[in-house]
Structure 1
Amino acid sequence: MVLELYLDLFSQPCRSVYIFAQKNNVPFDFKKISLMKGEQYGDEFGQISMLRKTPAIRDGDFCLAESVAIMMYLAEKYHTPDHWYPADLQRRARVNEYLSWQHTAMRPHGSKVFWLKLMIPKVMKVEVPKEKMDAALEDLNSSLNLFEEKFLQDRPFVAGNEISLADLVAVVEIMQPVGAGLDVFEGRPKLSAWKDRVRAAIGEELFDEAHQGILSAQNLVQTVDGSQLEHFKPKILKFFL
């Protein structure tokens, strides 16, 4: 039975898993889950993941959620090149350090800017207070500063001279607010050069394919039926506002 990947490429973690699997020639069956339509709450997906989140995988009778855990599983099962998750203790620790940090720093701040700048005003038709937007941008900029100064420093990639899971997870998160029209790379030559190296290491065609949807988000939201999110609207507004 071929590996099944349950993904929505609007989701940053889904993009990281998709890129990792494609780049490493992992054979899989793409199972599209629309988060906007709430398909993660359906009975069928509930049998794959009780967490009700994407990405998720089914490998025979084995099901697994959480993007980092999934990529580590795929790296070991398919014996992917060492640079992704290095065997060297200290290089692996650098990767683990970033993967541990980003959950409460880069990921929430990039996501919040995306929702406040695009989804809430354009799809939900709710005005976002300026102070909320300013605070979200400040938090994102602080995380970007830390990424450059602490995690990247003067290295080509987080763990050294080659791309790793840390870079892959970082780039998909940093690209999220770009989809809302915020050029986070403007005025950040170090960050921009790193992104270009990551894109080249992944392969420009694969990188662009995976990000096609999110980079078209400003146009796509014009066609989104806001009523699809009505059920989640109170929860979303409470979380972001």
Structure 2
Amino acid sequence: MASRLPLRIYYDLLSQPSRAVLIFLRRTGIPHVEKPVALRKGEQRSPEFTKLNPMQKVPVIEDNGFVLTESVAILKYLATKYNVPQYWYPEDTMQRAKVDEYMAWQHANVRYHAAKVFITEPLGADRDILKDRPTLNAWRTRVQSALGKTFDDVHSFLYQLRNKARL
């Protein structure tokens, strides 16, 4: 009988898709080993990483020899394989289709524009995007409260960048 290798996630905290998969793994308790890949140092171009993902992007998971890239595919795979609670990814076909619909739309539309608002602009202009936006501030507070320490852990690198930009 072959021994089972732990699931590995290759990620960079600068990557929003990486943070999404990492949050999911941590919050669902799926056993995994975290393998950071420093994009800013070009580690994704190493021969070892390129064997995992010829596109040289994160996140990537390796599950007992099975390699999967692209965060939406990874999240669907993990939710299905590890039988997570229904609120993550419903079994009902129509409910699941609505989740899939949103994930496809979000991945292609929201990420790019949100990155401009939540990362590029505040880092470059030292601007507090939550100031005078009570609805947005309340949403972020709810997300931080729901995720607890996981939220700050996966955003730690962005916090460091923000603090360096303020110097």
The answer to whether TM tops 0.5 is yes
Q: Does 1:189 align with 2:134?
A: yes
Q: Does 1:54 align with 2:27?
A: no
Q: How big is the alpha-carbon RMSD for the aligned residues of Structure 1 and Structure 2?
A: 2.4
- Tell me the equivalent position of 1:81: 85
Q: Does 1:97 align with 2:101?
A: yes
How far 1:117 sits from its partner (Å)?
Answer: 5.8
How far 1:215 sits from its partner (Å)?
Answer: 1.7
Where does structure 2 lack aligned partners over 5 or more consecutive residues? none
Q: Distance in 2 between matches of 1:37 and 1:221?
A: 19
Aligned sequence identity (%):
42
Trace 1:152-163 onto structure 2 (pairs within 5 A): none
Q: Does 1:215 align with 2:159?
A: yes
Question: Compared with structure 1, are the counterparts of its residues 105 and 185 closer, same or farther at alpha carbon in structure 2 (3 Å cutoff)?
Answer: farther
Where does structure 1 lack aligned partners over 5 or more consecutive residues? 122-179, 224-241
**Kept after mapping to 2: 8 A contact 1:51/1:65:** no
Q: Distance in 2 between matches of 1:21 and 1:37?
A: 25
Question: Compared with structure 1, are the counterparts of its residues 28 and 214 closer, same or farther at alpha carbon in structure 2 (3 Å cutoff)?
Answer: same
**1:37 partner letter:** K
The TM-score with structure 1 as length reference comes to: 0.60
Question: Compared with structure 1, are the counterparts of its residues 194 and 221 closer, same or farther at alpha carbon in structure 2 (3 Å cutoff)?
Answer: closer
- Tell me the equivalent position of 2:68: 64
Q: Distance in 1 between matches of 2:143 and 2:96?
A: 18
The 3-state SS of whatever aligns with 1:58 is strand
Trace 1:134-173 onto structure 2 (pairs within 5 A): none
